[in-house]
Amino acid sequence: MARRKRENTESSIDKKLLENVKGLRAEVTEMPISVTLETNYMPYAMSVILSRAIPEIDGFKPSHRKLLYTMYKMGLLGGQKIKSANIVGQTMQLNPHGDASIYETMVRLSKGYEALNAPLVDSKGNFGKVYSRDMAYAAPRYTEAKLTEICREIFKDIDSDTVDFVPNYDNTKTEPTLLPTSYPNLLVSANTGIAVGMASNICGFNLKETCETAIALMNDPDADIMQTLKAPDFPTGGEIIMEEQKMREIYETGRGSFKIRAKWQYEKKGNLIEIREIPYTTTIEAVMDKIAELMKAGKLKEISDVRDESDLKGLLITIDLKRGADPEALMQKLFRMTPLLDSFSCNFNILIAGTPQVLGVREILDEWTAWREECVKRRVYFELKRKRERLHLLMGLSKILLDIDKAIAIIRKTELEADVIPNLMTGFGIDETQAEFVAEIKLRNINREYILKKISEKEELISDIKSLEETLRSRAKIRRLIIKELEEVIKKYGSERKSSIVYAEDIEE
């Protein structure tokens, strides 16, 4: 009896489940695969392309932008560092994709990780290293961060209506669609992204050379950019093997590849080779594993031992040589057989007005210049509007100052406070905004010194407004402002190349 009762109970439970699960009773609709892809898969694919993987003209993906803007709003542009966990938590108000992905983004942008020519996050603690697979970064509760000084150029005039703002995912805050970077960050910061059906792989360039190239193109659109932008530059150093024709093709089309190899030196005293810089595309572990594999296979008999001696001072791979081994010949063999010589495949795929485009360096700088012109115009117009509003107030005040006694009499004769503004408007022919401004002036300020000061300010405003209007009408003046800002960036943050250049024809095989 007990068994039959239990069976009846189980069947009733199954019946209830079937009734509640609509999917089990739904009708199967046949649909062409092309329609299914268009209605179901395409929205997902476009979301990955537009909202995750491909950088925009400011050089950032949305995840980068959300993190940096959150740090900016937290007051981390200067001052003390704070716990990374705090920053990650605050960023989740703009980026709901989870704390792990946000922290990984912070690590990649950090000074400690050494992945960027111009790091944007000033880090404290263990943030790992881009050149090490096993050197894992510490948890966010153990590390601290703030924005680096160069972020002043990233957020320059962001509060002057230079870029558009949109609501965040739950409409509780607003965030910028782009950041008004005053230098071509898209080329300075290396960027990699894999989307659906497309990818992006942008190598980094030297900040100083990039800014100089942008200036050169503004002065002469036909300038040879290879005269100023010598070659890519990586924070991990190494030697770029320059093949001019291939590099020119990359600059023109945004596609192609070039080779980069490690830097080494021979220590005669210890009969060993020291490698302190490796290609940006590889890691210490990948190099060590390959050398160990070749030694085990008997293909590197010149080597007695290989060690990873990297420490807080930086990367160091030490290779002990057997007596009589030729270090130059050995390194040529290692370049052929290990990742100590590697290729970087370029694919300069970026979003321009929401559309993925593969552009050459010249086209990228042209797009950046056009976008930067728009930012500067918006900033100038914002300043012009502010000065016009101030002048409007002072024009109203001027009418009052011509007959202060009349203004005081109007205020004294007004019975209700609410009628003060309308009576001043009627008495002097001024609008409500001007009347409000006048009514807020303290009695102690109505003296000769105050009057002369305001008259002087009015004349200065008229001059400034005229100058700003002329700037808005002149593209040449807008460009001069951009060039001046680029020159300031070079002066403040410019540095020498980290990756040296070796010409292919000078290399002895």
**C-beta neighbour count of 306 within 10 angstroms:** 18
Using alpha carbons, list the distances in angstroms from residue 80 to 77, 105, 112, 113, 131: 9, 21, 17, 20, 28
Can you read off the two tokens belonging to residue 302? 């010149």
Residue 149 to residue 77: CA distance in whole angstroms: 7
Strand bridging mode 263-267 / 272-277: antiparallel
Q: Give catalytic status of residue 183 as yes or no.
A: no
Residue 288 to residue 306: CA distance in whole angstroms: 7
Cβ contact 110:119 at 8 Å = yes
Q: Which residue in 110, 283, 120, 117 sits closest to 203, CA to CA?
A: 117
Residue 61 three-state SS: coil
SS3 content of the chain, % helix, strand, coil (to 5): 50, 15, 35
User: Inter-axis angle of helices 327-337 and 284-296, to 10 degrees?
Assistant: 110
Most distant pair of Cα atoms in the chain: their distance:
108
Q: Which residues pair with 241 in a beta bridge?
A: 259, 502
Using alpha carbons, list the distances in angstroms from residue 97 to 8, 14, 267: 46, 37, 49
Residue 222 sits at the vertex; the CA angle it makes with 219 and 227, to the nearest 5 degrees, is 85
Q: E strands of 268-373, at which residues?
A: 272-277, 303-308, 317-321, 341-347, 349-352, 355-358
φ, ψ at 448 (rounded to 5°): -65, -40
Give me the catalytic one of 44, 142, 169, 503.
142
What residues are labeled active site? 142
